[in-house]
Amino acid sequence: MTEKSRRRRDPQERRAEILAAALNLFSERGFAATRIEDVAARAGIAKGTVYLHFPDKEALFTSLASGMASPILARMEVLAANDAMSSRAMVAGLYELVQTEILGTERRHMLRLLLAEGQLFPVVTEFYHRNVMTVGLRILRAVLERAAKRGELRSAKVAAVPQVVFAPVLLSIIWSTLFEPYEHLDSRGLFEAFLDTLFLPPQGDAS
């Protein structure tokens, strides 16, 4: 498709094409090694067209991160608001979202890049913490505090460290990045086992 024909495309469609190109390149080369001109070439547009939508490479990354996290955080809010749902079921729902929306897609590379290169780009890391991690931790803290009051947790101390819920997610990302070629990790099995370490069996369940 020529640049002339692309000028007729809807701005939101053009923006989506640029983000898709950026995600592909970040996944292939890493954040530091990817240039704006590389993104433009992959999207089949002029470099200046990218700048019409994103002021810099950091803005590309934060837009990708926000787009990836927003639907998951919104779903977490819905799950947490269901007071009739057990806390274990809510966290299990979160893990299923992570499995289907991140680990099972190219989006998993975003978390890998944060782990590998985040310290080199504090603007990106600060954005992700403020807009994703802080929101997710707020939701999880409320869920775990409710679980502690209900007597659902094996240890009430877990409510003070909601970050522990992310432990198997991070392990899955690290394992898939480094060791998956040598040994497969069943992330769903990992999540289920971790749920057993966090929560007591329901009353009447002797397991």
Give the separation between CA 68 and CA 56, rounded to whole angstroms.
19
Higher pLDDT, 148 or 116: 148
Dihedral (Cα; 12, 16, 22, 25), 10-degree rounding: -150
Residue range 29-47, pLDDT digits in tens: 889 999 999 999 999 999 9
Asked whether residue 1 carries a pLDDT value surpassing 80, the answer given is no
Number of other residues whose CB lies within 10 A of the CB of residue 184: 10
| Nearest C-alpha neighbor of 168 from the set 146, 193, 147, 143 | 193
Higher pLDDT, 198 or 104: 198
**Mean pLDDT score across all residues of the chain:** 89
Asked whether residue 179 carries a pLDDT value surpassing 90, the answer given is yes
| Nearest C-alpha neighbor of 121 from the set 51, 54, 49, 34 | 34
Residue 21 is encoded by which pair of tokens?
């190109």
Rounded to whole angstroms, what are the CA distances from 27 to 20, 61, 95, 174, 191? 11, 11, 23, 15, 25
The phi and psi torsions of 86 (rounded to 5 degrees) equal -65, 155
pTM of the shown model: 0.81
* Mean local confidence (pLDDT), 61-89: 89
The phi and psi torsions of 166 (rounded to 5 degrees) equal -80, -10
Q: Cα(first)–Cα(last) distance of the chain, in Å?
A: 60
Give the separation between CA 74 and CA 110, rounded to whole angstroms.
19
pLDDT value at residue 8: 61
| Nearest C-alpha neighbor of 171 from the set 197, 191, 144 | 191
What is the set of domains in the chain, with CATH numbers? Answer: 1-55 (1.10.10.60), 58-207 (1.10.357.10)
Asked whether residue 81 carries a pLDDT value surpassing 70, the answer given is yes
Beta bridge partners of 199: 153
Is-contact 121 103, C-beta < 8 A?
Answer: no
Looking up tokens 């392990």 gives 171
Give the separation between CA 182 and CA 119, rounded to whole angstroms.
28
Give the separation between CA 88 and CA 150, rounded to whole angstroms.
12
